[in-house]
Amino acid sequence: MTDVTPATGAAEEAVRVLRDDHERLLTVVGQCAIAVAAEWDGDSVTDRERVVPPFRRALDGSGALSRLPRALADAVTATGRPMAAPPVAAPPYVVVTGEGVVLRATLGEERLVMLLRAFEVVRGDDSDGDGDDGAHRYRRIDGVEIEAEIV
């Protein structure tokens, strides 16, 4: 049996709201990630600049970036906790990263952190044991995975 704490249950409810009420937005986020990956020469890249800036531009151009704060606010409402301030489409509320989009909201003494994962970061290996890891690789994943926690 899984131990579900109030924080875990609230995070799960936030994920449910994103999946159920913002399905179209998640689809657009995925489409933006597909468009970014389509510009790569292969199935991955090592340059973060080939992921984050184009992904942010695609999200902005599609209108998804401006809709993410509303989705975050709805997710917060689903937790049953008050939000300290209305979110905007900029840090610290909405951050585009090499893995996807991070949504953050302060809930009193805690914080809701949600990752809309559209890419995976494959860490470089240290096969020669010299402590100098190889380059990280950014790879598009299938769909958009949602991870959430209250910390």
Q: What is the total count of domains within the chain? A: 1
Tell me the C-alpha distance between 144 and 31, whole Å.
10
116, with CB counted inside 10 A (0-12, 13-18, 19+), is buried
Residue 1 lies in a domain: no
- pLDDT confidence of residue 6: 54
Tell whether the model's pLDDT for residue 131 goes beyond 60.
no
Residue 90 lies in a domain: yes
* Residues 6 or more apart in contact with residue 29 via CB below 8 angstroms: 59, 64, 100, 101, 116, 118, 144
Residue 2 lies in a domain: no
Residue 99 lies in a domain: yes
- The pTM of this model reads 0.87
Band the pLDDT of 35: cuts 50, 70, 90: very high
User: Domain limits at 15?
Assistant: 7-125+132-150
**Cβ atoms 26, 116 nearer than 8 A:** yes
